[in-house]
Amino acid sequence: MALLQEDDAATISETLNAQVDAVVIRELFGQEMPHAGFRLKADNDAARLTHLELLERLVKLGAPVAVTGLHERLGLPAPAPGEATLPTKP
């Protein structure tokens, strides 16, 4: 089911980018080439939970885990520079 949702989300994103984004950007900003796009992500809580559990195990084992892209994979926005964040565990 998750693969079908991801495929549908990709198809919707492609359709919106091809048929809607350029028109909206051109009307709002007068640009011919769009510099933005729409991306619909399927909600996949089971995969996100599995990924989070794996990350926790790797950290407990002392394995290095890159932060780059981690927020996106978990479906969370990365904090902006200077934005307040939750405290980290000591």
Please state the length of the chain.
Answer: 90
Neighbours of 28 (CB within 10 A): 8
* Residue (of 15, 29, 76) closest to 67 by Cα position: 76
CA dist list (Å): 20 to 14, 25, 27, 72, 86: 10, 9, 11, 24, 38
What's the whole-model pTM score? 0.44
Q: Is the pLDDT of residue 1 over 60?
A: no
pLDDT, one tens digit per residue, over 66-88 is: 888 788 777 788 888 998 887 87
CA dihedral of 88, 57, 46, 87, whole degrees rounded to 10 = 0
